[in-house]
Homo-oligomer: A and B are copies of this chain.
Amino acid sequence: MSTRLSIFAIPGIPLVQPGDDLASFILDGLAAMGESLAAGDIVVVAQKIISKAEGRLVSLGTVMPSARAEELAGVTGKDPRVVELVLQESREVLRAKTNVLIVEQNLGLVIANAGIDRSNVEGGSEDMALLLPVDPDASARALRETLIERSGADVAVVIADSVGRAWRYGTTGMAIGCAGLEPLWDQRGDTDMFGKVLEVTEVAVADQVASAANLAMGEARERTPAAIVRGLDTPRRERPATALVRARKEDMFR
């Protein structure tokens, strides 16, 4: 039997406000399309609505840029208040030049602008910024528990962002939080079908799940910030998405 995956976006999720109950939105959206959660489903949720529900929206009017932020704003051409938030959300600046500010975000993620987003922010206001969740693995665990409690189905949760890459154009999915699945399948030491031991085959399954879900969720023009990935036979082992972050001592490109 070959693996057969079904991936579909959950439409009808309303604009998310701080404190909103995302589990309800997801379950209601599924019910409206005649679907329900099944054991083994992976519920993929866009980072944006997790951040919004957790109140990670910051009014730039409240941000006082530091001297370092002003300096980097000059280099990058970015709003000094946004740069200040990027610095607060980061451990280290890796690259700064016109239109580009790449950092090690507080979670260890190497990411542009610390993952801070100014699009799709309610009200069309220009002076708001949306930060990444403080602990997306914890967010995923909490959402998973609620979904299991209310649906009875043993599902997994992945919180997905879309990020750029050093040597490729275009964004792809990245799992910044997960619960109930193994994000990294370690096949080192397994043998291939000819009996030869594979040297290194670790598969970033959670990132691939995020990318697959992105295809169904589409981008900003459609309001589908959640999707179901159904049919993936994942190992029972469970780790957080931080397991995907390469250790700094192994980084050859900083």
Contacts and interface: CB of A to CB of B under 8 A. Distances in A.
A141 interface: no
B10 A2 contact: yes
Interface in A12-35: 33
A184 B169 contact: yes
Contact-size category for A = 35 or more
B221 A124 contact: no
A57 to B, nearest CB: 13
Interface string A44-63: 00000000000000000000
A204 interface: yes
Interface stretch (A68-76, A85-93, A151-159, A212-220): A212-220
A128 B123 CA distance: 60
Given A3-B215, A6-B6, A201-B219, A208 B168 contact: no
Nearest to A162: B203
22 contacts: A2-B222, A3-B8, A3-B216, A4-B7, A97-B252, A118-B199, A119-B194, A120-B192, A120-B193, A165-B246, A166-B166, A168-B204, A168-B245, A170-B204, A171-B204, A185-B219, A190-B221, A198-B220, A203-B214, A208-B215, A212-B215, A215-B232
